[in-house]
């Protein structure tokens, strides 16, 4: 095996030497074959598969359960989803920082996934809108605790040259669970179609089982590597982060302002005549496409660059939202959900790899936390704004809401094109075919 470091990260020019020193000291998992993913990525992929299987048995049915069974309005649906997702993303900022400061990621990952799993039976027991709000809130708190440490753990143990593939694989496994979950929900709703509203509750109760499997995997299969760098919290002024990272946060904020909860897409499908028992199947179509394209999408960003890949995805999102706004036939809904899966497959692994590329090596958890927090704060606003626009007119409200979302995506694409630098090619230098972890250890000892 060659003893030279695989890649050098280029941040601002006055920090090149420091970035090189830190990057080569990271505990990447050794893989004997080029392109092979490590144990940590695969284990976290399985954890996400079972967790999303659990969550997605509930998620596509929840908007219908809230509006049709419990009588919630579109505005209140937006408030529920906005508060849930916004709170989760704000917590991601703190959990990422805490995982850097304590130099422990597994404990936070376990706490987050465990909390979300334990909430599932309480969805089945809810008889009022406020109860669903509380349960959904706690469920998303769990997501907020686990996400940034999990993403940072993937970055910690994956060589930069394979980050796009690693995050794409993880999103693909996550989304495979989101295919299986709605399929189970659809089958149960069909078998229980004579049970009335009780069918929803049986599905929600069954969702606890795959969540429990995820917890077992974390406890017995996930291994945590020791940290090789001391975290330094950059503070509220983003000190220590490059200009390119800050501009990426601006792009994320603007896009998120138009990226409301997907619950509105499902509500749109129902409004256009999709039967309640078919809603999980529609959501499954989206997730099938997303799952199939997630790994290739991440690999594409490794090859052509993160920026170019996102510039393919953001205009596609704008077109899809315009389509949802003007759709008037059910066949268009199925096609639009499939196209939505293409967008997610192109962009989600790419975005995570982009953040990992731009983050200083010693504060990756904090970097992911700030990214998710920015996304969440503006998604909170997005869901509330979307719900208000939707409810403003029974005929034109939904169309106007989707046009607003499309416009935000278009603006974000323009800012990305004009002000953000690419990373896949510009942050790397010539690399050998394999990585020798022993060299990183020796380099670290020499530096210290």
Residues 234-293 pLDDT 10s: 544 577 788 999 999 999 999 999 998 898 999 999 888 888 878 888 988 998 999 999
Rounded (10°) angle between helices 279-304 and 263-271 = 130
Q: What is the pLDDT of residue 34?
A: 53
pLDDT tens across 114-124, in order?
A: 999 999 999 99
Range 39-226+240-421 has CATH code 3.50.50.60: no
Q: pLDDT-based confidence at 232, cuts 50/70/90?
A: low
pLDDT tens across 352-406, in order?
A: 999 999 998 888 888 998 998 898 788 878 888 998 999 998 789 999 999 999 9
Q: pLDDT-based confidence at 163, cuts 50/70/90?
A: very high
Per-residue pLDDT, averaged over 194-210, amounts to 92
* Residue 39 CA: distances (Å) to CA of 31, 222, 225: 9, 8, 11
Helix (H, G, I), strand (E, B) or coil at 73: coil
Phi and psi angles of residue 137, each rounded to the nearest 5 degrees, phi first: -60, -50
pLDDT tens across 395-415, in order?
A: 899 999 999 999 999 999 999
Q: What is the DSSP letter of 375?
A: H
Per-residue pLDDT, averaged over 300-310, amounts to 94
For residue 42, the number of C-alpha atoms closer than 13 Å in the C-beta half-sphere is 7
For residue 434, the number of C-alpha atoms closer than 13 Å in the C-beta half-sphere is 10
Percentage of the chain with pLDDT > 90? Answer: 52
- Contact indicator for 423, 164 with CB cutoff of 8 Å: no
Q: What is the pLDDT of residue 2?
A: 39
Residues in the chain: 448
Pick the closest to residue 58 from 171, 135, 172, 141 (CA basis): 135
Task: Say which residue, 81 or 390, is predicted with more confidence.
Answer: 390
Q: What is the pLDDT of residue 133?
A: 86
pTM (predicted TM-score): 0.78
Mean pLDDT for the chain? 83
Q: What is the pLDDT of residue 27?
A: 54
- pLDDT surpasses 60 at 96: yes
- pLDDT surpasses 90 at 36: no
Q: What is the pLDDT of residue 53?
A: 95
Residue 138, C-beta contacts closer than 8 angstroms, at least 6 positions apart:
115, 119, 122
- Contact indicator for 74, 391 with CB cutoff of 8 Å: yes
* Domain assignments of the chain as residue spans, ordered by start: 39-226+240-421
pLDDT tens across 327-343, in order?
A: 988 899 999 999 999 99
- pLDDT surpasses 90 at 160: no
Cα separation, 373 vs 360, in Å, equals 18
Q: What is the pLDDT of residue 234?
A: 52
Q: What is the pLDDT of residue 19?
A: 39
Cα separation, 25 vs 229, in Å, equals 8
Token readout for 427 is 């942050």
pLDDT tens across 42-53, in order?
A: 999 999 999 999
Q: What is the pLDDT of residue 379?
A: 81
Cα separation, 255 vs 235, in Å, equals 24
């Amino acid at each position: 095996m060659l003893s030279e470091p695989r890649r050098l990260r280029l941040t601002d020019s006055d920090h090149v030497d420091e970035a090189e020193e830190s990057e080569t000291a990271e505990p990447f998992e050794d893989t004997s074959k080029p392109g092979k993913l490590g144990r940590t990525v695969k284990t976290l992929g399985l954890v996400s598969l079972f967790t999303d299987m659990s969550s997605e048995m509930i998620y596509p049915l929840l908007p219908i359960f809230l509006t049709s069974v419990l009588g919630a309005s579109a505005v209140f649906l937006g408030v529920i989803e906005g508060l849930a997702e916004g709170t989760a993303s704000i917590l991601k900022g703190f959990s990422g920082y805490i995982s850097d400061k304590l130099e422990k990621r597994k404990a936070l990952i376990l706490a987050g996934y465990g909390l979300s799993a334990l909430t599932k039976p309480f969805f089945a027991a809810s008889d009022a809108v406020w109860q669903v709000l509380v349960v959904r809130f706690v469920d998303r708190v769990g997501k907020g605790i686990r996400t940034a440490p999990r993403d940072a753990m993937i970055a910690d143990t994956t060589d930069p040259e394979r980050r796009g593939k690693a995050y794409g694989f993880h999103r693909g496994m996550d989304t495979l669970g989101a295919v299986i979950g709605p399929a189970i929900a659809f089958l149960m709703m069909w078998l229980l179609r004579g049970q009335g509203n009780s069918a929803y509750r049986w599905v929600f109760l069954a969702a606890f089982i795959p969540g429990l499997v995820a917890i077992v995997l974390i406890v017995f299969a996930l291994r945590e590597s020791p940290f090789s760098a001391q975290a330094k919290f950059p503070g509220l002024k983003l000190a220590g982060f490059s200009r390119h990272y800050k501009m990426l946060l601006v792009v994320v904020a603007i896009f998120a302002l138009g990226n409301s909860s997907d619950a509105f897409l499902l509500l749109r499908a129902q409004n256009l005549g999709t039967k309640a028992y078919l809603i999980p199947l529609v959501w499954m179509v989206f997730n099938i496409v997303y799952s199939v394209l997630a790994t290739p999408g991440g690999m594409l960003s490794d090859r052509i660059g993160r920026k170019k890949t996102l510039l393919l995805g953001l205009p596609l999102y704008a077109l899809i939202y315009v389509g949802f706004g003007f759709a008037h036939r059910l066949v268009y809904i199925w096609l639009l959900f499939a196209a939505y899966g293409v967008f997610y497959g192109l962009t989600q692994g790419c975005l995570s790899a982009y953040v990992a590329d731009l983050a200083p090596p010693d504060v990756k958890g904090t970097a992911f936390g700030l990214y998710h927090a920015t996304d969440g704060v503006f998604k909170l606003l997005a869901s509330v704004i979307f719900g208000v626009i939707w409810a403003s007119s029974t005929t034109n409200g939904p169309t106007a809401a989707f046009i607003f979302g499309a416009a935000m995506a278009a603006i974000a694409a323009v800012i990305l094109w004009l002000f953000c630098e690419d990373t896949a090619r510009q942050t790397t230098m010539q690399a050998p075919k394999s990585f020798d972890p022993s060299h990183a250890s020796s380099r670290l000892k020499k530096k210290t």
